[in-house]
A and B are shown apart, each in its own frame.
Chain A
Amino acid sequence: MTEQLDAGLVGRQIAESDQLGDPKDGREVGRARRRKEDARLITGRTTWTDNIQLPGMLYVAFLRSPIAHARITRVDASAARARPGVVAALTGRDFADEQGSLPCAWPVSEDVVIPDHPPMASDEVRYVGEAVACVVATDRYKAVDALEAIEVDYEPLEAVLDMTEALAEGSPKVHEAGNQAFTWKFSGGDAEAAFRDAPVVIDRTYVQQRLIPTAMEPRAVVATTDGGSFTVYSATQIPHILRVMLALTTGIPEHRLRVIAPDVGGGFGSKLQVTAEEVLCLLLTRRLGKPVKWTESRSEGNLTVHHGRDQIQKISLAAERDGRIRGVRVDLLADMGAYLMLVTPGIPLLGAFMYNGIYKMDAYDFRCTGVFTTKMPTDAYRGAGRPEATFAIERTVDELAHELGMDPLEVRRRNWITHQEFPYATIAGLTYDSGNYEAATDRAMALLGYDKLRAEQADRRDRRDPVQLGIGVSTYTEMCGLAPSRVLGSLSYGAGGWEHAAVRVLPTGKVEVVTGSSAHGQGHETAWSQIAADALGVPFEDVSVLHGDTAIAPQGMDTYGSRSLVVGGIAVLRACEKVKAKAAELAAHLLEASPDDVEFSTGTFAVRGTSEGKTIQELALAAFAAHDLPEGFEPRLDAEVTFDPENFSFPHGTHLCAAEVDTETGMVRIRSYVAVDDVGHVVNPLIVEGQVHGGIAQGIAQALFEEAVYDSDGNLLTTTMADYLIPSAADLPDFVTDRTETPAASNPLGVKGVGEAGTIASTPAVVNAIVDALRPYGVNDVPMPCTPERVWRTLAGAAPPGSTAAGRGGAGESEGGER
């Protein structure tokens, strides 16, 4: 069955278009350019933060709490100071007057509690891994060795680990103010009415397990000073936001603070943060007058990189017997961990508008309670809120289909917004500008061979094959391109959602694009070059893209939320258009024509109807020489733009997963996976393909492999990659990918963003497939990650129709307790 799938189809098309130098019209946008940054990144001829060596550099190591919750009664670092090579050994008290509190920029509600969050704890620790002391030494080895000489006395307090218990009367408290971080409500339509007398109501509870974002490059910070000003290098996604926040947190004036994100090896949201280590390294360089460096180990990272997801989702769906959805109610508990970090409380709210998915309904009701626990804080992780929402609705719609005895795709068809209905104002108050769910779904079904697989499934069921087959559906949409500033304002977010770009045509006609987006693996240097090359009519090779340094790209809102192309890329396009207008004015002047008569085509400004013209390169030189310019014309061919989007963008698509489940061992094997995504127009198909592949891999990882596990004392058990399982290529099937292209109506390129789509779509597709395979055994859910043991326990505990659970090995999920 798999062999008939054309796994290589898209890949081949890409390779061909790259070789042929297509596209037909000579345009760069749409062309599968190899990424220009890759040679540098892949061969290591680049600067990762940890590669930076500065004269006199000192190395920092942090001592971290081994206890989830405790009062610190004594810290004695004096013995560490006597160790060889140690320059300083400092405790929370030493920083007390200068360290401030780590910022939370998203006070989501009136009732939000934002506890003080000292970068280094001095009185109380609230999660395992919280920094309590540090050593600064002449090399990294000495620093780590000296940590063992620091004595800390803890008076243990009760750990708070379970969200439901945390909210119960009498629970031990994480913070004085209690364990409720905030409540938040939202509704559209009349949910009471939708659920009253509803012929079908599906009630489900899903657990979004805690995940550890695992960027290939660990976090690293270098901080240095010349006495007057400060430079922080950090493996961050957000150099601009970090600069503002470091200034606000430490009181170092913003204009004397430069933040550089050198090449950064992935983030997935985990580097969208203002971390304790960044603040403390900055304070250390100020204190010691020397450059300092800290690089985390992988285990340290698993403990202290902010975690993702960790929600308990109660969802109810009311429907008619014909499958039409009347309404959806959602009640979330969201684990904040011990503190509110940069956008911690906002993450579940990014999903608040998405639990209705692609479906029409009369009513929608959403409520969320943020809960403090003694665990590492959670925050943005690829998809941030939308994967959770998509999972819940897509799982529940499959449950509805099962309840009604309908095909899961048929139920979706009866409810989804049809392509004629766009723009469509959803029950959650968003306006979906465009989409074509029918086209993506038809294509996906054809690519999977849907009907044939259903036939095979029926056959395996008949044969009682120990290996059962299931097909999982996920017809997702998501909101990305964060975000219209006024919308962010209405959600109490602390900043705007604009992006900045500057375009400079240099005297030799080469182009520099300065962007506020901060790529950390996405390929912006290539995509922005393609956009600029088309807009200015210059060769792709003639464009350089500068980013990630607040002294070079002074303004920006950085990269997250699939926002770079739809906001930052559009800013680049707009800046190019401004440059072009200037160039046209100069051309008209030099050609002694009226500006209205000057036409631009492939890099040349010509007088209409004549062969007379000036190339953009000639104009750049003329502007530089400035000998003969129009009245009031500044002698530069450059422009800046700050672009604020009017709407989010809404990628969508249909993902289908066929999974085999070995009912004897519980092992799940994905047999085929089809993703048809609609991300609007595509600037570079190769980059899109890469994002889709990585995204699907991460979503599958949540479904099958990844889970941060704390034990009953609040110790993280998954501190190494032997325990926290990340799939490798060998664990994943070939992905069959294709696209439909329904352009976004909200921006001139018609693009939608693709950074998170794969992750958002794929998790429910996989779990739906597993549940579908196991329906004959009476299974209607498997908790994530669907490990072999969980699948086996679910099977052993389930009561298959027409039999009793007795005599089935007695290994129900309840027995032995959940781990």
Chain B
Amino acid sequence: MIPATFDYIRPASLDEACHVLRDAGDSGDDVKVLAGGQSLLPLLRLRLAYPSALVDLGRLPGLRGVEDRGDHVFIGALTTHDEVLRSPVVREHVPLVAMATATVADPAVRHRGTFGGSLAHADPAGDLPAVALALDCVFIARSAEGEREIPAAEFFTDYLETALRPGEVLIGVRAPKLGADWGFHYEKFTRTAQAWAIVGVAAAVRSEGGDIAEARIGLTNMGPTPLRAQVAEEALRGLGVAHGNGGGPAPGSAPGSAPDGARDPVRDACGQAAEGASPPSDLHARPDYRAHLARVLTYRAVRAASA
């Protein structure tokens, strides 16, 4: 639980940070950006990572805070989970972010851990990547060469890997405001209260006259990256949500059928939530169980989001 030695650099400005990162990249050093440290420091302490230096963004001005920018909300990368939760702008315009953030860890971690750090770390078990994916957020990256935008669908490239290039810092995320006809829900399944998701489902559903007009479903911990449950999204389009009764399979009946034996089309559609996923296996769940959970939780999330 003691990290190997590393250098510690605290740049005074974002520009300086970008230059430090570029120079380090040029000289082949393994330099890591430090935000809240809630994912990076455990890796260091378990000696699973041996960076030569940490560049601490923690006190940089301008990267922290939430802004209402008309058609979208801008969340600065260094905004802590706790600040996100307390933001009325987030709660009003991107409630799915608030719902998921509320399930992240415990108050102590939420006071240090950052929104941007969660996304840049790209842990598929983290709650926010699936949300960013479901909301089609846009990621803003900055380097010594300038700024660029990365759509959420292109951001998460592999396990703990993103489209951020060496020397690039994530400075913030644009979360589009969705209209009043959208409903949201984040359904997280854990064994203990303050834990990483075994599976999580982020659902955004647009309803039109009691039917699902559009569903966007982000899956947490169902593969090496966060995923969209595209097959289920397609299958849900146009289904009525009024009929389902929320019940589960009765003793002796097939999974997916409602207690009274009647088929519920929404449940059937959600039964495809795990299509294309490659869920991991660990002590808390093997892949087939995760796939099962994804189906059940997607149904619950979609129903809650369209209620």
Q: Which of B172-180, B234-242, B252-260 contacts A (4 or more CB under 8 A)?
A: B252-260
In the complex, residue of chain A having the shortest beta-carbon distance to the beta carbon of B250: A464
Is the CB of A731 closer than 8 A to any CB of chain B?
A: yes
CA distance A614 to B207 in the complex (A): 88
Q: Which of A268-276, A285-293, A490-498, A807-815 contacts B (4 or more CB under 8 A)?
A: A807-815
Contact of B259 among A463, A788, A800, A802 (CB under 8 A): A463
Is the CB of B108 closer than 8 A to any CB of chain A?
A: no
Which B residues touch A520, using CB under 8 A? Answer: none
The smallest beta-carbon distance between A773 and chain B, in angstroms, is: 11
Inter-chain contact A705/B192, CB cutoff 8 Å: yes
Inter-chain contact A464/B2, CB cutoff 8 Å: no
Q: A725-B191, A728-B194, A793-B289 are in contact. Are A664 and B252 (CB under 8 A)?
A: no
Is the CB of B69 closer than 8 A to any CB of chain A?
A: no
The smallest beta-carbon distance between A64 and chain B, in angstroms, is: 13
The smallest beta-carbon distance between B281 and chain A, in angstroms, is: 8
Which B residues touch A727, using CB under 8 A? Answer: 192
CA distance A730 to B259 in the complex (A): 31
Within 8 A of A (CB), among B169-191: 189, 191
The size of the chain B interface, using a CB distance under 8 A, is 32
Is the CB of B12 closer than 8 A to any CB of chain A?
A: no
Inter-chain contact B252/A800, CB cutoff 8 Å: yes
Dominant SS at the B interface? loop
Contact of A789 among B196, B251, B254, B289 (CB under 8 A): B289
Contact of A466 among B191, B249, B288 (CB under 8 A): B249
Inter-chain contact B283/A709, CB cutoff 8 Å: yes
The smallest beta-carbon distance between A111 and chain B, in angstroms, is: 37
Contact of A807 among B1, B250, B254 (CB under 8 A): B254
In the complex, residue of chain B having the shortest beta-carbon distance to the beta carbon of A805: B252
Which A residues touch B160, using CB under 8 A? Answer: none
A694-729 to B contact mask, C-beta < 8 Å, 1/0: 000000000001000100000001101011011110
CA distance A676 to B5 in the complex (A): 54
Which B residues touch A664, using CB under 8 A? Answer: 248-249, 255, 296
Q: A141-B2, A789-B285, A819-B283 are in contact. Are A776 and B193 (CB under 8 A)?
A: no
Inter-chain contact A705/B46, CB cutoff 8 Å: no
Which B residues touch A665, using CB under 8 A? Answer: 189, 293, 296-297
Contact of A145 among B5, B283, B286 (CB under 8 A): B5
Which B residues touch A789, using CB under 8 A? Answer: 284-286, 289
CA distance A467 to B288 in the complex (A): 21
CA distance A465 to B246 in the complex (A): 10
Is the CB of B72 closer than 8 A to any CB of chain A?
A: no
Which A residues touch B285, using CB under 8 A? Answer: 788-789
Q: A723-B283, A816-B286, A819-B286 are in contact. Are A466 and B194 (CB under 8 A)?
A: no
Inter-chain contact A731/B293, CB cutoff 8 Å: no
B276-298 to A contact mask, C-beta < 8 Å, 1/0: 00000001111011001100110
Which A residues touch B254, using CB under 8 A? Answer: 807-809
Which B residues touch A807, using CB under 8 A? Answer: 254
Which interface residue of B189, B194, B195, B251 has the most chain A CB atoms within 10 A?
B251
Q: A140-B2, A789-B286, A808-B255 are in contact. Are A722 and B196 (CB under 8 A)?
A: yes
Is the CB of B4 closer than 8 A to any CB of chain A?
A: yes
Inter-chain contact A809/B193, CB cutoff 8 Å: no
Contact of B283 among A298, A464, A718, A728 (CB under 8 A): A718
Within 8 A of B (CB), among A451-470: 463-467
CA distance A145 to B255 in the complex (A): 53
In the complex, residue of chain A having the shortest beta-carbon distance to the beta carbon of B45: A297
Q: A789-B285, A789-B289 are in contact. Are A145 and B249 (CB under 8 A)?
A: no
The smallest beta-carbon distance between A493 and chain B, in angstroms, is: 37
Contact of A730 among B193, B198, B247, B284 (CB under 8 A): B193
B70-88 to A contact mask, C-beta < 8 Å, 1/0: 0000000000000000000
CA distance A465 to B193 in the complex (A): 24
Which A residues touch B297, using CB under 8 A? Answer: 665
Is the CB of A299 closer than 8 A to any CB of chain B?
A: yes
A771-782 to B contact mask, C-beta < 8 Å, 1/0: 000001100000
Is the CB of A803 closer than 8 A to any CB of chain B?
A: yes
Which B residues touch A728, using CB under 8 A? Answer: 192-194
CA distance A299 to B1 in the complex (A): 8
The smallest beta-carbon distance between A68 and chain B, in angstroms, is: 18
Inter-chain contact A466/B292, CB cutoff 8 Å: no
Q: A718-B283, A819-B286 are in contact. Are A465 and B247 (CB under 8 A)?
A: yes
In the complex, residue of chain A having the shortest beta-carbon distance to the beta carbon of B293: A665
CA distance A463 to B195 in the complex (A): 33
Contact of A663 among B4, B193, B249 (CB under 8 A): B249
Inter-chain contact B259/A465, CB cutoff 8 Å: yes
Is the CB of A106 closer than 8 A to any CB of chain B?
A: no
Inter-chain contact B195/A722, CB cutoff 8 Å: yes
Inter-chain contact A777/B251, CB cutoff 8 Å: yes
In the complex, residue of chain A having the shortest beta-carbon distance to the beta carbon of B289: A789
Which B residues touch A809, using CB under 8 A? Answer: 254-255, 292
In the complex, residue of chain B having the shortest beta-carbon distance to the beta carbon of A793: B289
Which B residues touch A776, using CB under 8 A? Answer: 251
The smallest beta-carbon distance between B253 and chain A, in angstroms, is: 8
CA distance A140 to B192 in the complex (A): 33
CA distance A731 to B292 in the complex (A): 23
Which B residues touch A793, using CB under 8 A? Answer: 289
The smallest beta-carbon distance between B89 and chain A, in angstroms, is: 28
Inter-chain contact A730/B194, CB cutoff 8 Å: yes
Within 8 A of B (CB), among A725-768: 725-728, 730-731
The smallest beta-carbon distance between B289 and chain A, in angstroms, is: 5
5 example contacts (A-B, Cβ-Cβ < 8 A) are as follows A145-B5, A725-B191, A730-B192, A793-B289, A819-B283
- Sorted from nearest, which 7 A-B pairs have the closest CB atoms? A466-B248, A803-B252, A730-B193, A464-B250, A297-B1, A664-B248, A144-B2
Apart from A141-B5, A463-B259, A787-B191, what 13 extra A-B contacts exist at CB < 8 Å? A148-B4, A464-B251, A466-B248, A664-B248, A717-B283, A720-B46, A725-B195, A787-B284, A800-B251, A809-B255, A815-B288, A819-B283, A819-B286
